[in-house]
Structure 1
Amino acid sequence: MKNEQRKGARSVKDIPKDIMKQLNKGEIESANLTEWLAADQKLLLENFLRQYNRKEYFDPILEGISSLKKQTVNTINETIGLGLFNEALKNNDEEFLSVIPGHTSDLVRCWGTYMVGRNKALSIKEKLNKIQPFASDKHFGVREICWMAVRTEMIENLEEVLFILSGWTAHKDEYIRRFASESTRPRGVWCTHIAKLKENPELGLVILEPMKSDMSKYVRDSVGNWLNDASKSSPEFVFKTCERWLQESPAKETEYIVKKALRTIQKK
């Protein structure tokens, strides 16, 4: 996964000092996963708050980071996003929050996804509406974090979520179509599994069916991975679905999805 505008270093030690400095100042986006993981979020936060004259927000958020049992890129990301949201609310500072979704730094935009996901005042429909711009972000990191930010609430409101996301499957933006399947994967990577979809994967067909021959490889990979997840607990369902899809839509795009979907079944 990489930014098309600039190639990133393959290892942290190979990241040029000037690039690292710009990343931590929020002046550029990370070009690949190596840079995304290497950025110092605490330093970025300090620079970001100084840029917008909100230095008083730093210490309370830093305290939240320090109290984490396990500090990872994702836990720090979430803590900063929630911390910024809480500080802004406490100070009636909605104007400040508005600069985050359009910020140059992809990590700052990642923080913004948690301001949506952890906003208790929003219904799940409102959260999905507000998360959609992040789902279509040009940066891979923001696209991945945005569905993690709302996944807990999605699981709690699964039927409504599936209904809403079924409408996203016809969106012209491949990133938004991909969100529909990736965010609901039964065994998503680095996140809570969705027990209802592991036990009853047919519930997900409302999302998967419209994309069974999607023209975008990005979407096809996600649909194939969704079914592969499901195959680990419901192999017969996945096999029959793939068999039917090949009959209904004998296209190379469908064949690609089916191959990906059946990879675990075929190993047995």
Structure 2
Amino acid sequence: MVINDAILNRKGARKSSDIPNEVLMYLHDGQLESVNLIEWQAVNHQSLLKSILPSLDLEENMAFFLSEMEKQNVVSGMKAIRVVSELLDNVLKNESDEKRLEVLTIMSTHISDSVRCWAAFMNKGTSKTIEELLSYIQPFAADHHFGVREIAWMSVRENLSEDIEKSVQLLIKWASSSDENVRRFAVESIRPRGVWTKHIDLLKQDPEKALPILNLLKADPSKYVQDSVGNWLNDASKSQPQWVLDLCSKWENESDVQATSKIIKKATRTIKKQTINK
């Protein structure tokens, strides 16, 4: 089926009710990527499963998947991705390693960003080492789609937080990558507070542990990375404001470039707001 250029090059609706039926049909058939958060959240994962499971040779599990999703009352968004991933993991643990690899290969390279999101989350409940988890997740961290990249860091954040010192050492290499998406992952995956995730209490109280990564990126040329570093420090400022101010002052003296100035501005926004409100 050929999808016309008008759909492929669309900007995306501003609200879910404005998404064209044809676009939803392609999204639910797994033939199209979402182009913004509105579309990403509008995907009905039950409908998508009906289209995808046969291509994975897992159609015999269709009733189980749909029944479990109905029980948990999940249709779309982050929760649906988590549930589908868990169900796929449960089904595939009874299959051979070859079958699991075959399914993961198809999913991780699928045209549907939602299917790639499922694959990214299919590492939960495993006994993999941090090194193995990071190796598995790297292609998703580098994915061209914003949704897949967000799921990538969310899927391993809890594992990374269990041993921050080791995780930081492993992520130094990521922070030195030529790929801005991978560099951003190194920061976003261990934000002290993060978004839609549990806080990392150790980094809220002792943000200095992440300095090997933060220092590498204090003048990063990518706005994507700058925003992440600024947000990381803004997180830290809510529990360790003086530490953030001292670090920003140090960076300002060491790196008199626009990139660092942008990071500092974002990093100190909560501190400045609190000062104004006093």
Measured against the shorter chain, the TM-score band is: over 0.9
**Residues 148-227 of structure 1 aligned to structure 2 (within 5 Å):** 148-227=154-233
Contact persistence 2:46–2:75 (CA under 8 A): no
**Residues 134-149 of structure 1 aligned to structure 2 (within 5 Å):** 134-149=140-155
Question: Is the alpha carbon distance of 1:138 and 1:114 closer, same or farther for their aligned partners in structure 2, counting shifts above 3 Å?
Answer: same
Name the counterpart of 1:123: 129
Contact persistence 1:23–1:29 (CA under 8 A): yes
Equivalents in 2 of 1:221, 1:77: separation in Å?
26
Equivalents in 2 of 1:236, 1:98: separation in Å?
47
Equivalents in 1 of 2:65, 2:86: separation in Å?
9
2:35 counterpart SS class:
coil
2:122 counterpart SS class:
helix
Name the counterpart of 2:103: 96
**Cα deviations by residue, 1:230-254 (Å, 9 ceiling, x for unpaired):** 0000000000000000000111110
**Cα deviations by residue, 1:203-257 (Å, 9 ceiling, x for unpaired):** 1111100000000000000000000000000000000000000000111110000
Q: 1:68 offset after TM fit, Å?
A: 2.7
**Alignment RMSD (CA, Å):** 1.5
1:90 counterpart SS class:
coil
Question: Is the alpha carbon distance of 1:236 and 1:192 closer, same or farther for their aligned partners in structure 2, counting shifts above 3 Å?
Answer: same
Tell me which moved more, 12-21 or 169-178: 12-21
Equivalents in 2 of 1:254, 1:235: separation in Å?
18
The residue identity in structure 2 corresponding to 1:103 is: H
Name the counterpart of 1:43: 47
Name the counterpart of 1:105: 112
- Structure 1 residues not aligned, in runs of 5+: none
The residue identity in structure 1 corresponding to 2:139 is: P
1:190 counterpart SS class:
coil
Tell me which moved more, 192-201 or 68-77: 68-77
Do structure 1's residue 26 and structure 2's residue 30 form an aligned pair? yes
**Residues 234-249 of structure 1 aligned to structure 2 (within 5 Å):** 234-249=240-255
Do structure 1's residue 266 and structure 2's residue 272 form an aligned pair? yes
The alignment's TM-score, normalised by the length of structure 1, stands at 0.94
Question: Is the alpha carbon distance of 1:70 and 1:51 closer, same or farther for their aligned partners in structure 2, counting shifts above 3 Å?
Answer: closer
2:244 counterpart SS class:
helix
Equivalents in 1 of 2:64, 2:161: separation in Å?
30
1:98 counterpart SS class:
helix
- Counting matched residue pairs gives 264
Question: Is the alpha carbon distance of 1:168 and 1:9 closer, same or farther for their aligned partners in structure 2, counting shifts above 3 Å?
Answer: same
Q: 1:162 offset after TM fit, Å?
A: 0.7
Question: Is the alpha carbon distance of 1:96 and 1:149 closer, same or farther for their aligned partners in structure 2, counting shifts above 3 Å?
Answer: same
**Cα deviations by residue, 1:74-124 (Å, 9 ceiling, x for unpaired):** 1210110121122122122222222110000000000001112x1513111
Contact persistence 1:61–1:79 (CA under 8 A): no
Contact persistence 2:44–2:75 (CA under 8 A): no
2:106 counterpart SS class:
coil
Q: 1:72 offset after TM fit, Å?
A: 5.7
Question: Is the alpha carbon distance of 1:189 and 1:61 closer, same or farther for their aligned partners in structure 2, counting shifts above 3 Å?
Answer: same
**Residues 6-17 of structure 1 aligned to structure 2 (within 5 Å):** 6-17=10-21
Equivalents in 1 of 2:201, 2:257: separation in Å?
32
Q: 1:12 offset after TM fit, Å?
A: 1.2
Equivalents in 1 of 2:149, 2:9: separation in Å?
17
2:197 counterpart SS class:
coil
Contact persistence 1:180–1:207 (CA under 8 A): yes
Contact persistence 1:88–1:97 (CA under 8 A): no
Question: Is the alpha carbon distance of 1:5 and 1:242 closer, same or farther for their aligned partners in structure 2, counting shifts above 3 Å?
Answer: farther
Identity %: 44
The residue identity in structure 2 corresponding to 1:190 is: W
Question: Is the alpha carbon distance of 1:187 and 1:25 closer, same or farther for their aligned partners in structure 2, counting shifts above 3 Å?
Answer: same
Question: Is the alpha carbon distance of 1:33 and 1:133 closer, same or farther for their aligned partners in structure 2, counting shifts above 3 Å?
Answer: same
